[in-house]
Structure 1
Amino acid sequence: MKRNFTITVQLICFALMYSLFFAGCINVEEKSPSQNQSENVTIFSTSGAQQAVEVLSNQFESEKKISVLRNYASTGVLARQIQRGAESDLFVSANAQWVDYLIKKGIVSEDRSVAFTSNSLVLITAVSENPQVPKFRSDYPENKLLELNLTIGDPGYVPVGNYSKMVLDNLGWWNTMKGNLLLAKDVTTVLHYVQRKEVTFGIVYHSEAVNAPNVKIVAEIPQEFHETICFFVVLLNKNNTNAVELFNSFNSRKSREILTERGFLPLEEHCFL
């Protein structure tokens, strides 16, 4: 009787171990390497290229059924974040300076950056305003310059500010006006100041002005007064195949046509690193 009881207990224990072993094996799938890799793409982009990045990213998301995560700020801020280790697959810059910065830091190679579109500068005011518009010439009266209520991007931080300062320098206006200028952290902030009528005029990219509400263009700024405005896209993570595809799509003929419709300009021959 005792022997039969021992055998029964052993059988029960064996059955329990057997069932627990297979229970632990149920629904366990070995994922392929492609399933473990993230399909999403992260872009760090200058605020001045937001219109371009939005339209191209939305199109890519629709085609690939993935998410393109976007972070907009001034070019210099983003470049420094990337240099300090912030993770991004692509970087969009509003000039060559910050691309060169990352190349010199050894973060990216020159063959993984390309110019994809160009732009111009315009003078804007609020839609409801009708101020006297300054003439972009070197002999414009100094007393009228002192009366101009103008905002530009901060030349120390954002490319749109650098281009704007070039204009004022080349016209001989900078020294007269610099104490009265309202400096903005990026081109979006310039737009906001004008939209809220905190200032009379602002200098922004043409693409921003034509797509922004409650502002109007009152003057096209001659391109002879500043360097050619070029936007670059940089591939930071070549191991993300979707990022590589999006990088290539930025410089496609189809994308250039889309951007031209949104107020950007065809690439200039001077747009190179």
Structure 2
Amino acid sequence: MPSTRRTVLGFTAALLIGAASFPGPALAQSKELVVFAAASLKTALDEAAGNWVKDSGKPAPKISYAASNALAKQLEQGAPADLFLSADLDWMDYAQQKNLIVKESRVSLLANRIALIAPSDAKTTVTLAPGVDLSAALGQGRLAMGNVDSVPAGKYGKAALEKLGGWDKIRDKVAQADNVRAALLLVSRGEAPLGIVYTTDAAADPKVKVIATFPEDTHPPIVYPVAITKDSANPDAQAFLAYLRGNAAKASFEKQGFTVLNKPASSS
């Protein structure tokens, strides 16, 4: 097995931030508020949740962070959660089609951007224009990104490179990670010279820097929907959702670089 592949498999399994694993029976029987959230939300959502605890006097929610696809599949398999925050519309649509969420509670909460990153001390420069070729900048290294078939950030990154005509040139030099924070860590640790992550992820790690931001017209809109799960019986679920839609949480999200949308879902 190639060393890059071993590296990705080795630490990405640990990097699900303690969250991609199935909550056990003790959690299932707990009355604490359980939130399933996309890994890219960690920094902002941890702060918002902490402020909610201080403002409301409620117990701290149990937040499980992982890739949106992994969380949606866990919900489908019966994992107990009260709220689901996805990093794209597709996986929330999936949860809705499987009757895993309360459709009326669904809100398009946030928007984001994707960027090309490098270690903070790198001298690399790249212009993300039609015909872009990252091969020279990668050298013998790999482009770190989320799984391009399932992880939202990976799907957005592949779509953007395809639109710019650069995907086929580097498709065999991609290190695919289990979630976007795993891709971020590959670059942060210097194990990949370049990576594609959300701009908010780059802002959360001082060991990386954004060298170029993808034009928004190169990929589908990056929207983070949130909804209460169908099986939630926790009265705090509605209260926490309302808090996430309020001004206090807005400050936490905007500080991290998210754009706050806070729009009820139209249909689907």
The alpha-carbon deviation at position 109 of structure 1 amounts to 3.2
Q: What is the TM-score normalised by the length of structure 2?
A: 0.81
Identical-pair percentage: 26
Distance 1:162 1:248 in 2: 30
Q: Which residue pairs with 2:192 in the alignment?
A: 199
The residue matched to 2:260 in structure 1 has which SS? coil
Structure 1 position 59 matched with structure 2 position 51: yes
**Structure 1 runs of 4+ off > 3 angstroms?**
140-149, 268-273
> What secondary structure, in the 3-state scheme, does the structure 2 residue paired with 1:218 have?
strand
8 Å CA contact 2:134, 2:170 repeated in 1: no
Offset, 1:102: 1.3
Matched, 1:167 2:160: yes
With over 3 angstroms needed to count, the CA separation of the structure-2 counterparts of 1:259 and 1:201, relative to structure 1, is same
* Secondary structure of 1:58's aligned partner: helix
Amino acid at match of 1:70: I
Question: Structure 2: which 5+ residue stretches go unaligned?
Answer: 1-28
In structure 1, distance between residues paired with 2:110 and 2:207: 25
Give yes or no for the alignment of 1:242 onto 2:236.
yes
Partners in 2 of 1:149 and 1:196 — Cα distance? 13
Alignment-derived partner of residue 122 in structure 2 = 129
Q: How many aligned positions are there?
A: 236
Pairing 1:101–2:62 present:
no
- The Cα of 1:77 is off from its aligned counterpart by 0.8
Corresponding residue for residue 173 of structure 2: 180
Q: Are 2:218 and 1:228 equivalent residues in the alignment?
A: no
Per the TM alignment, residue 136 of structure 1 is displaced from its structure 2 partner at its CA by 1.1
* Corresponding residue number in structure 1 for 2:18: none
Change (3 A) 1:152 1:143: closer
Residue deviations 1:137-192 (CA, integer Å, cap 9, x gap): 12335864774742111112210001101111101111221111111111111111
Asked whether the 8 Å contact 1:124–1:215 carries over to 2, the reply is: yes
SS at 2:259's partner residue? coil
| 1:219 paired to 2:212 | yes
Letter in 1 for 2:132: Y
- What letter matches 1:165 in structure 2? K
Normalising by the residue count of structure 1, what TM-score does the alignment of the two structures yield? 0.79
Q: Which residue of 2 aligns with 1:255?
A: 249
CA–CA separation in structure 2 for the residues paired with 1:79 and 1:138: 34
| 3-state SS in 2 of match to 1:115 | strand
- For structure 1, which runs of at least 5 residues remain unmatched after alignment? 1-36
Q: What is the SS of the residue equivalent to 1:53?
A: helix
8 Å CA contact retained: 1:118, 1:268: no
Alignment partners' CA distance in 2, 1:200 and 1:142: 11
Quick one: structure 1 residues 268 and 170, their matched pair in 2 at CA, closer, same or farther if it must change by over 3 Å? Answer: farther
Deviation track 1:175-222 (CA, whole Å, cap 9, x = no partner) reads 221111111111111111001111111111111111213111111221
Partners of 1:122 and 1:205 within 8 A in 2: yes
Q: Contact 1:228–1:270 (CA<8 Å) still a contact in 2?
A: no
- 1:77 is matched with which residue? 70
Change (3 A) 1:239 1:167: same
> Residues 117 and 50 of structure 1: is their aligned pair in 2 closer, same or farther, counting only changes over 3 Å?
same
Query: 1:254 offset after TM fit, Å?
Result: 3.2
The alpha carbon displacement at 1:227 in A equals 1.3
Q: Which has the larger radius of gyration?
A: 1
User: Partners in 1 of 2:264 and 2:105 — Cα distance?
Assistant: 18
Q: Which moved more, 1:251-260 or 1:40-49?
A: 251-260
The CA RMSD over aligned residues, in Å, is 2.3
Is contact 1:41-1:89 (8 Å) kept? yes
Instruction: Please tell me whether residue 139 in structure 1 is matched to residue 131 in structure 2.
Output: yes
Match for residue 113 of structure 2 among 117, 120, 130:
120
